[in-house]
Structure 1
Amino acid sequence: MRGHCILSHGFESGPDATKVTALAEVAGRAGWSHERPDYTDLDAKREISELGDVFARVERLQALARAAAARGPLVLAGSSLGAWISGQVSLSVPVRGLFLMAPPTRMGDAPPLQAADVPVSIVHGWHDELIPATAVVDWAAARNATLLLVDDAHRLSDHVGASADAFAALLARL
């Protein structure tokens, strides 16, 4: 194995979601092991915030990422809220790269999206109804991130294949 990928789904999604499933297939073909944590129990905790227990997601991913990083190279990938937590965790766990789909650059009272200084690849929709494309362009530019902007909305449902291809390209660079 070349390393390990942890693929985090978005809010009100799950580990069998179309995008993270496509990324898992890419990782496997590229020789990377992978896992897709389930955060759905935390999404239901709306009494904490409208997005559930975001910081419990960070803690869960952090524990998984620490264990995986101890075994070898690690890549974190996520969609929407999964992208935000991947960025946060990259600050405290050594990662080789980040793959972010529809990343929220700001999210309520939470800190703005942050990320370790590693290769970052982003896929975002021009017509994202939740996260303005211009905010993601600015965030990506400040980090010299690879950015693929597509004619799609927040779910990127018309660009699952393009997202998988972009993930494959990131893994090939690592």
Structure 2
Amino acid sequence: MKGHVVLSHGLESGPDGTKVSALAALAECRGWRATRMDYRDLDARGLIACIAPRVERLAAAAAVDEAPTLLVGSSMGAFVSGLASLRRPPLALFLMAVPLRIDGYAQPFDAANVPTTIVHGWNDELCPAADVTGLARARQATVILVPDSHRLASQMAFLAHQFDYFLAAVERNPTATSQRGT
């Protein structure tokens, strides 16, 4: 096993969602252990009430063993992946459709200073692409903008390709991924 990939779904999805399932399968094919988080019980509490418990659950799952860990998330899953990364920095982050703020929640998006790849839709109706490019610039993150909306529904093949590339880069040089800017 090369390490542990922990995938977090969005608010209106689940562990069997299209993106999470496809990326988990790809990680497993490459020899990584994949954990698909299930937050549906927490999400039933409502948008704001589910965030802190999601972060706690994800941080606990990421700390299960000492294996190199990658955090992957979409939408709310990206938001909590960033916050959980502050507790135990992963090797890297792969985030999709990242909200930088959630109305009613005091803490904005933040993440450990680790290599980060962001895939975001130019036409994201919930999280403006300009905000995400600003975040990427400030963090020197890789940002890939695609012609799609928040759900990135028409980008599954592209997301899989980018995730495969991301995993290959980590595998080629896992020690470099712990250093910013590589």
Give the alignment's TM-score, normalised by structure 2.
0.89
RMSD, matched Cα: 1.1
2:60 corresponds to 1:74: no
Superposed CA deviations along residues 46-85 of structure 1, whole A, max 9, x for unmatched, are: 2xxx354111101111111111xx3310000000000010
Indicate the residue corresponding to 2:55 in structure 1. 58
Match of 1:140, SS? helix
Work out whether residues 11 and 51 of structure 1, in 8 Å CA contact, stay in contact via their aligned partners in 2.
no
Q: Given residue 161 of structure 2, which amino acid in structure 1 is its aligned partner? A: D
Q: What does 1:16-165 correspond to in 2, within 5 Å?
A: 16-46=16-46, 50-67=47-64, 70-108=65-103, 109-165=105-161
Q: Distance in 2 between matches of 1:159 and 1:75?
A: 21
Give the alignment's TM-score, normalised by structure 1.
0.93
Q: Given residue 155 of structure 2, which amino acid in structure 1 is its aligned partner? A: H
**Structure 1 unaligned residues grouped into runs of 5+:** none
Larger mean Cα displacement after TM superposition, 50-59 or 9-18: 50-59
Work out whether residues 100 and 108 of structure 2, in 8 Å CA contact, stay in contact via their aligned partners in 1.
yes
Q: Displaced runs of 4+ in structure 1, greater than 3 A?
A: none
CA-CA distance at 1:94 after TM superposition:
2.9
Cα distance change on mapping 1:163 and 1:52 into 2, 3 Å: farther
Superposed CA deviations along residues 25-51 of structure 1, whole A, max 9, x for unmatched, are: 1101221110101100111112xxx35
Q: Distance in 1 between matches of 2:19 and 2:91?
A: 21
Indicate the residue corresponding to 1:11 in structure 2. 11
How many residues are matched? 169
Work out whether residues 5 and 32 of structure 1, in 8 Å CA contact, stay in contact via their aligned partners in 2.
yes
Question: Percent identity at matched positions?
Answer: 51
**Structure 2 unaligned residues grouped into runs of 5+:** 171-182
Q: Given residue 128 of structure 1, which amino acid in structure 2 is its aligned partner? A: D
